[in-house]
Amino acid sequence: MRIRFWGTRGSLPVSITAGGIKRKIVEALLAAAGRNLRTGSEIEAFVERELPFAVSHTYGGNSSCVQIDIGAEDYFLCDLGTGARLFGHHVMAQKGPAAPGTFHVFMSHTHWDHIMGFPFFAPAYIAGNRIVIHGCHADLEQVFRRQHAAPCFPVEFDRLPAKIEFVRLEAGKRHRIAGLEVTPKLQLHSGDSYGYRFEHGGKVVVYSTDSEHKPDDARLTQGFVDFFRDADLVIFDAMYSLADAVSVREDWGHSSNIVGVELCQLARVKHLCMFHHEPVNDDAKIASVLQETVRLEEITRGDHTVRISSAYDGMEIVV
Amino acid sequence: MLVTTKRYADVLVVAAAGRIDYQNADEFKAALMPHLENCGAGRDQVVLDLSQLDYISSAGLRVLMIAAKEVRARQGKLLAVTLQPVVREIFEISRFTLVFDIFDSVQEALAKISPLALAAYESKSP
């Protein structure tokens, strides 16, 4: 399975500021001072290999959208945040509008940041495309229709040329959808959210965002350990610090890097990818949280190593 | 996981030892919280001695957050002292260093909150 992250930001899409760009350029030029970088390829190699990611790149600011590519003709997406716009453009650029496709979408929940990319999802505007929106919420269709209704958006849902279907999934049950095994799990979040365990070709990827954990509730914890068990990759809501998640932001429906590491260690997960970044955090802050989380995994490691990464818009992970 | 206490005048030193994780966090909470009942302005203060604590998970930290909130609501003081290097790093990464005043020794914490307790501690120390 190849996982592509089209949107990784939590709660609200954000953009790097003019000041942020300037700071990166200053840092890059300072790092290059005294270096004999004369050709484009020398500069590119320097940028790629020697500058920290948070200086040479950005984690991006689109809200949640993750593609699960199993090498099939059908497309699989998790959530339709603003990252879905880029995915849609990518598909149109690759295949062109003349080649219809089927797009399966698995919705964690229907909060705005997870649906706001759909009005700008190009495949919805192409006749012949089929979009199947899967989820466990009873009002899934109503939410999407309401988002397209006046006065919020100029194109009514019924005028979208693609064939759009809604499929209700049962949490805790294993479903087979176009060759992909999918098991949803109820998560703690305002209005409920659902994580998805995807299995294909002997590989397991878990998408678990907008999910609060009560670390001292052993029963709930064990439920997530079972859900994550032996996964090759867990995409995990690590929006807050633990201190915030259990105090001022308790019951806000999100989790922390600490809980992510603990659950993945208990479940013997191979790779934890932190996701749904706090919109207030700039690239330097996200990189610093990643560094601390890598260290946490090291100092608390038993006989199992969990690889730690932090998702960015445009990232690809192959499992 | 083991919780023991020692009193020095108006300060109760609560020592936690071993490992605290999601499987024994309830036990830790049950052992810790009764010691906070007399904590408050003009009454006991509590020092958490973590010198024998090898590991604390998010579950244990949540118990500490509940304890800190309870003590604060009573205008009391709850301090943490002598964290082992691993526990100290966990406190830093989880941002619990912003929740607790942390001291390097029991003596240093007592000096901060109660001269009476410091005198009692020093008189009992070899």
Compute the nearest-CA separation of A53 from chain B (Å): 21
For an interface test with B, the pick among A212, A214, A216, A244 (most B C-beta atoms closer than 10 Å) comes out as A216
Asked if the Cβ–Cβ distance from A216 to B95 is below 8 Å, we say no
Q: Give the nearest partner residue to A241 out of B60, B86, B95, using CB atoms.
A: B95
Q: Which residues of A touch B21 (CB under 8 A)?
A: 262
pLDDT of A212 strictly over 90: yes
Percent of chain A with pLDDT over 70: 100
For B1-32, the pLDDT digits (tens) are 899 999 999 999 999 999 999 989 999 999 99
Distances (CA, A) of B20 to A250, A266, B28, B54: 21, 14, 7, 8
The owner of tokens 């082992």 is: B84
B99 contacts chain A (CB < 8 A): yes
* Cis peptide bond upstream of A151, omega within 30: yes
Residue B35's SS3 state is helix
Residue A301's SS3 state is coil
Query: What are residue B53's DSSP bridge partners?
Result: B18
- pLDDT of the residue at B38: 86
**Per-residue confidence at B126, pLDDT binned at 50, 70, 90?**
low
Q: What is the rounded average pLDDT of the residues A94-117?
A: 94
Distance of CA A66 to the CA centre of its chain: 5
Asked if the Cβ–Cβ distance from B69 to A247 is below 8 Å, we say yes
The owner of tokens 């105090």 is: A247
Q: Which residues of B touch A296 (CB under 8 A)?
A: 89-90, 93
- pLDDT of the residue at B40: 81
For A129-173, the pLDDT digits (tens) are 999 999 999 999 999 999 999 999 999 999 999 999 999 999 999
pTM given for the model: 0.95
Rounded to whole angstroms, the Cα distance separating A219 from A18 reads 47
**Sign of the C-alpha dihedral, residues A21, A26, A30, A35?**
positive
For an interface test with A, the pick among B54, B94, B99 (most A C-beta atoms closer than 10 Å) comes out as B94
Residue type, B52: Q
Q: What is the rounded average pLDDT of the residues B22-49?
A: 91
- pLDDT of the residue at A262: 97
Other Cβ atoms closer than 10 A to A287? 18
CB A78 within 8 A of CB A207: yes
Instruction: Find out if CATH 3.30.460.20 is the number for domain A2-14+58-318.
Output: no
Report the phi/psi class of residue B17: left, alpha or beta, with left for phi > 0 and alpha for psi in -120 to 50. beta
pLDDT of A83 strictly over 90: yes
CB B28 within 8 A of CB B4: no
- pLDDT of the residue at A133: 98
For A16-28, the pLDDT digits (tens) are 999 999 999 999 9
Nearest CA in chain B to A296: B90
Query: What are residue A85's DSSP bridge partners?
Result: none
Give the strand pairing for A180-187 and A175-177.
antiparallel
Average pLDDT, chain A: 97
Q: Which residues of B touch A215 (CB under 8 A)?
A: 22, 25, 57-59, 61-62
Give me the domains of chain B, ranges plus CATH numbers: 2-121 (3.30.750.24)
For A231-263, the pLDDT digits (tens) are 999 999 999 999 999 999 999 999 999 999 999
Annotated domain spans of chain A: 2-14+58-318, 18-56
